[in-house]
Structures are given as structure tokens and as C-alpha cells.
Structure 1
Amino acid sequence: MVAAPTILLFMIAASNLAEVAALVGDPARANMLAALMDGRALTATELAFMARVTPQTASAHLAKLSDSHLLAVTKQGRHRYFRLASPLVGRMLEGIMAVAAIEAPQRHRPPSVKDAALRQARTCYDHLAGRLGVALADALTARGHVVLGDDGGTVTDSGTAFFQAIGIDLATSHKRQRCFCRPCLDWSERRPHLAGSLGAALADAAFAQGWIERLRDTRAVGITAAGREQMVRLFGPELSTVFFSTEN
């Protein structure tokens, strides 16, 4: 027989799961959360535009997401900025999107330029995803710099030297209050890209060195001419064919 406290904890957990699922399941709130998956903070006005709802409706949705600790709010002057409350929320959203892409019924929708850009290269909370993220993960593992398992990963001695050479301080990455290195199933490629604080550090370095740049009103990122040259040089010639393809 299952103990009464265990049953109570199970019921509480199930109730919380249902509450979070209901919050994420609303189309407008889902669009808002997806817009914040690049790790940046946005205003209520920006999120209302992305969710295609009125400012009043957006405020009601944002209040529910904040009260449930899915979003964090920062006040700056007259404005309030909303961001995902933690990497855990981002990871939950990544998982939902991966399952939805694989298991959900296929819906016919003509491909768009925006869809192609997202599949090519995008941010997934604070790390890189799409063809770019998967190709970088493939290159790092093929060269023995990173070893990825089902739930985590490690950096080898050669990887330590490689990351230091491109300006990534692994000691600082280790100090972040989160998993250091892990695979993350890419919803569009259906293969893993690199996540964790190491994945975030790699994305930071790519932005800082001008390899990639943010595109307006989307999580997609553009790959610069200098970025193509440098990433092919550093990660291998495979990127020139696997990654910089414009095919959907």
C-alpha cells in the first residue's frame, strides 16, 4: 500500500503539472514564451505584438505567467521587462517543442523565409540551435573536444585548449549555477546541439566575435561573412556544406 504522504505529494505534483501545462497551452502565452526563448528580456508591448493580442490581454497573460514563476520581471524606469525565470523554464519549452515537432500530427503550411532562417540558425534560450548549433556540436564531438552522453557531457584536454583559444573561460562557465555541458534535442534537426553553460559560453563568443548577429523580431540569427570564414577555419570544412546551406 502506498503511504498517504506519498499520495499527497503525487497529487500536488500532478496538480502543478496541470497548471503549468494549461499556462503554456494557451496560444497567446505560448507565443510569448517562444519569443523569450532567445534569453532576452522584452516589454509587454513587444510581447503583445508577437502574440498578436491587445496590450490589455497581454498584461493579463503576463501576470499569470509571472505569478506562476515562469517569467521574471525587471523594472527599468517606466518600463517592465519580462524574461524566462530560469534556464529550467527554457529547457522545459525546448522539450515541449521537440516532442511537438516529432510526435504531433503534421500540418501543411507553406514554408516561409522566417521558417528557413529559424531552421538555419537560432538561439535556444541562451545557446545556439538549428543547423548551426547541430553542426557545431558535431564538429566538437568529431574532433574529440567534447564527449556527449544522453544527459550530460564533458570537455577533453584538447577541448579545453580549443575553447581557451577562442576566448572561452571554462572556469567561469563551470561557476554558473546550472549544468555545465549537456546535449539538447534540436526540434528542427531532431539531433542534439550543445546546451548548458558551455553552450551559452559558445553562443556568447560567437556574438562577441561577430560570427553571428541577431535578427529583428525573431530568434533566428544571421551568420556573417566573417563568421562563415572563421567557423569553417576553426570547426572544419564540413560546416561550409552542412551548415551554410539555405535549403529547408
Structure 2
Amino acid sequence: MTEGPDISRTAALIGDPARAGMLAALMRGQALTVSELAAEAGIGLPTASAHLARLEGGGLIAPRRQGRHKYFALASDEVAALLEALMRFSAGSAPARLPGPRDPALRQARVCYNHLAGERGVQMYDSLVARGFLLAAGEGLRLTEEGVGFVTGFGIDLAALQAARPPLCRECLDWSARRSHLGGRLGRAFLLAIEAKDWARRSPGSRVIAFTPEGARRFALAFPAARADDLSRIAGG
């Protein structure tokens, strides 16, 4: 008998095209209703309900109630990281597909469950590491004293973030750029702060994060691109 956890059950849950479509829709970070998820997967309500019951039973999604309405969201950051890893692997190993009209926007900036991904997400991560605001700590990341000052100066309530359960910040390997962007509670807080500053907005029905021209300029000033030697050091760990 094979040792270790049985991955076949989780793999089978994700592997169904309809369920995979619903999980991909939830990667936008929004809680969606059964009817919304059914539309995303192109299936009927009874079938969608059955699929969602299986995903919930497998620990991949969790229901949320708001008044009379029931919504579904990904169960945890770990589920989002698993799906992002599968997207990254599939993008590199599957036969090439013709890119859709939104693909360039998705590569530039998108939401990865609850944090910024794509080229801008990678730039933000590289900039934070290159300036010594983030340091590798074991298998994770930690904020330096200078990083604490930058985060609070950006308008983020760091005390509230540190009071919640870990991880505060972690690397998330970007499926399109094949490099790290910032996840964890700090990654989410940065995205919320960027939206609060009106630098960027989420595109309805998509994972795209659309920056305004002024927002793009301010983002570039806040997170200047790392130099080539800094990138070599970051890539080398």
C-alpha cells in the first residue's frame, strides 16, 4: 500500500471540468451563488448543487450565508495556492492554446484569490525583497524593521494583521510569470490598500486587476522595479 496521504480523491474532485471551472471562478476571491457558479460552468442548477456538495465535502470550498442567500468561496488560502500551482503546471505542460483577448491583461495584473498576481504582483514582491523589506525566514518570509515602516506608511494596519493567524506573508509562485508574488495576509492587505487608493479596480466577471494610468504611475513609484543584480540575488534565494 502506498504511504502518505491519498491524493487521488482531491485530484478527482478538481479534475472534473465543471468543478474545475467553478473553482477557477472562485479564484477571483469573490463568494458566488449556486446559480452564478452554474453559469460559470455551463451546467444546470441541480448538477451544480451536486458538484458543490462534493467540493464542500472534500474541503475545497466553504458555504457562507448572507441573509436568505447562500454563497460559496474557497475554503482557505491553501486551496487557492493548490489551484494556482495547478494553473502554473498546466500552463507549462499542456498543449498551447490560442490566447483569448483578455490574456495580456491577466498576465499584467490579476487577483490570485485575495492578493495581487501577474507582472505587477511579481514587481511588487521583487521590489520589497530588493529593498530589504522582506527576508526569507526558514520556509517563509518575514518583515524587517524597515519593512514594518514601509507597510504602515502605505496605510496598512499591521497590528491587526499580526493579531490574526499565520501566515502574515508567504511566497506564491505565479503561474504566468513563473516567479514569486506576495501572498498571505500581507499580500491581501496590499491589494486592498491599492484598491482603496483607487490605483486599480477589479474587472467584473474576471480576475483582471485594471490599473488607471495614474495608478500605474504611483504603483511604479511605490514599488520600483528591481535591478538585474537584485533579481539574480532574489532568484538565487
Same fold (TM over 0.5): yes
Residue of structure 1 equivalent to 2:47: 57
Match of 1:81? 71
How far off its partner does 1:127 sit?
0.8
1:45 maps to what in 2? 35
Residue 68 of structure 1 is aligned with which of 35, 58, 61?
A: 58
Deviation at 1:217, TM superposition (A): 0.8
Asked if 1:220 corresponds to 2:208, the answer is yes
Determine which of 99, 105, 124 is the counterpart of 2:94.
105
Uncovered stretches (5+) of structure 2, i.e. residues with no partner: 227-237
Equivalent pair of 2:126/2:225 in contact (CA under 8 Å): no
Tell me the TM-score normalized by structure 1: 0.85
Counting helix residues as a fraction of each chain, which structure ranks higher?
1
Alignment partner of 1:94 is 2:84: yes
Amino acid in the other structure paired with 2:195 = F
Q: Is the 8 A contact 2:128 2:134 kept in 1?
A: yes
Identity %: 45
Q: Please say if residues 148 and 182 of structure 1, whose CA atoms lie closer than 8 Å, have aligned partners that are also in contact.
A: no
How far did residue 149 of structure 1 move?
6.1
Q: Contact 2:123–2:225 at 8 Å: present in 1 too?
A: no
Shift of 1:66: 1.4
Local SS of the residue matching 2:186: helix
Q: Note the C-alpha offset of 1:237.
A: 6.3
Q: Secondary structure of 2:149's partner?
A: helix
Please report the RMSD computed on the Cα atoms of aligned residues, expressed in angstroms.
Answer: 2.1
3-state DSSP class of the match of 1:48?
A: helix
Aligned position for 1:164: 152
Does residue 24 of the first structure (1) align with residue 24 of the second (2)? no
Q: CA deviation at 1:157?
A: 1.7
Q: Deviations over 1:182-238 (max 9, x none)?
A: 111100000000111111111111111111101011111111233112212222267
Deviations 1:80-104 (A, max 9, x none): 10001111211211222222223x2
Give the drift of 1:150: 7.6
Q: Distance in 1 between matches of 2:116 and 2:41?
A: 23
Which amino acid in the other structure matches residue 37 of structure 2?
L
Partner of 1:139: 127
Alpha-carbon distance, 1:55 to partner: 2.0
The structure that has the greater radius of gyration is 1
Offset at residue 67 of structure 1 (A): 2.0
For 2:27 and 2:142, the matched residues in 1 are separated by 25
In the alignment, what sits opposite 1:182?
Answer: 170
Residue type at the aligned position of 1:207? E
Give the TM-score normalised by structure 2. Answer: 0.88
Provide the rounded CA distance (Å) in 2 between the counterparts of 1:97 and 1:150: 26
Alignment equivalent of 1:204, drawn from 184, 187, 192: 192
In 2, are the aligned partners of 1:210 and 1:226 still within 8 Å (CA)?
no
Aligned residues: 227
